[in-house]
Amino acid sequence: MSDGIAVLVGEISEAFAGDRWAILNSATDQVKWRLYDGAALRHCCQLLQEMDLAARSGQEFSVRLLQRAHIEAWLTGLYIHYGGFAAVTRVGQDTLHHLEASGNEAAAIDQWLAGERRTARTRARKVQQANDGIRKWNETNPDLPAKPLHTAPHIPQLRPTGLDLSDRIADFSDTQARQLPVSELVDLLTGLAKEKGFGNETFRPIYLIYRVLSGIGTHPTLNILESYLTPGGFIRVSPAPVNGSIADSARITALYATAFLACAVLGDHGCPVPAAAELCARFAPDPSGGSAWAPGT
């Protein structure tokens, strides 16, 4: 499998190094679409290679995290390729949504921190004044039980985030922020697949795989924690999950998906992709009812 990944990525790299992908920066919608189209494929290749490295070194959870990222990157790449510049615009709206959300969160933290500091410092001054009075009273009344001092309030020591995304946000001056959840993305692809002829089935099962990967890799669910417990009369906590690996399934899924996208992105621009085409043919979904994403495993 690693050899297949290396051959595919090498073929893709060779295609991008050719003159067909030396694109004049004319800033037209068509040029922007093509550049993002190629970049999306490159991103899938990078994730695929890192997934392979993680699998070969036994990093199970790295594989799971990378597979989830690869699925989202692949879905986005397909959407950009078949959706054209309108898809780039839609992905841009989602990008702006996340930039604004991050910027707003940073501003809210900084505003809260400044307010907390002001309030705490005001309280600290009052406590200091009160304690000064208590100390004087204790000094002048040594024969009486000493009055306890007030506890000084904690003044937050956190630094402001200093996160300023205004320049990044300004890049989307003509764009309206709008989130694009993966759930919506798969439905858009289901429609595009039938319209553009690259699929006849719904993409919803892929979203299910994406969701399952959240529960077995991204989030520390009880299922994840239970995978460290060895069954038996006496249960021990294992140093690694004992319920098997998904590394081979993840790699073959990502390999097929990347080859499929390469045939679309590079093939539609006239680049020969024999290795990608051969991988697509070898790992194509089995209409007889076999696994669509990891045939033969």
Range 10-15 contact pairs with CB under 8 angstroms and sequence separation of 24 or more: 10/275, 11/262, 11/273, 11/274, 11/275, 11/276, 12/41, 12/42, 12/45, 12/262, 12/266, 12/273, 12/276, 13/45, 15/266, 15/271, 15/272, 15/273
pLDDT in tens, 243-277: 889 999 999 999 999 999 999 999 999 999 999 99
164 within some domain = no
Report d(CA 200, CA 262) in Å as an integer. 19
91 is a domain residue = yes
* Strand extents, DSSP E, the chain: 229-230, 236-237
104 is a domain residue: no
Helix or strand or coil: residue 103?
Answer: helix
Whether 289 is covered by a domain: the verdict is no
pLDDT digits (tens, 9 = 90+) for 100-156: 999 999 999 999 999 999 999 999 999 999 999 999 999 999 999 999 999 999 999
What whole-number distance in Å separates Cα of residue 43 and Cα of residue 38? 9
Instruction: Return the C-alpha torsion angle 38, 44, 50, 55, nearest 10.
Output: -150
On whether residue 201 sits in a domain, the answer given is yes
Instruction: Answer whether 1's CB lies under 8 Å from 52's CB.
Output: yes
How many helices and strands in the chain, by DSSP H and E? Answer: 9, 2
Q: Which two tokens stand for residue 207?
A: 């979203």
> What pTM did the predictor assign?
0.89
Question: Is 50 exceeded by the pLDDT of residue 291?
Answer: no
Residue 116: partners with Cβ closer than 8 Å, 6 or more residues away: 156
Residue 151 in any domain: the answer is no
At residue 95, the 3 state secondary structure works out as: helix
Instruction: Give the per-residue pLDDT at 173.
Output: 87
Q: What is the per-residue pLDDT for 295?
A: 45
pLDDT band at 287 (very low <50, low <70, confident <90, very high): low
Compute the distance between CA of residue 216 and CA of residue 218 in angstroms, rounded to an integer.
Answer: 7
Confidence band of 232 (pLDDT split at 50, 70, 90): confident
In a domain, 78, yes or no: yes
Can you tell me the mean pLDDT for 42-68? 97
Residue 131 in domain: no
pLDDT at 293 over 90: no
What percentage of the chain carries pLDDT values higher than 90?
87
What pLDDT is stored for residue 290 in this prediction? Answer: 52
Whether the Cβ atoms of residue 138 and residue 199 lie closer than 8 Å to each other: no
Report the mean per-residue pLDDT for the chain. Answer: 93
Domains contained in the chain, number: 1
pLDDT value at 91 more than 70: yes
pLDDT tens-digit series, residues 208-224: 999 999 999 889 999 99
Hey, what are 50's tokens? 């890192």
Range(s) of the domain holding residue 220: 2-45+55-97+181-282
- HSE, CB side, 13 Å, CA atoms: give it for residue 9: 19
Q: Is the pLDDT of residue 207 over 60?
A: yes
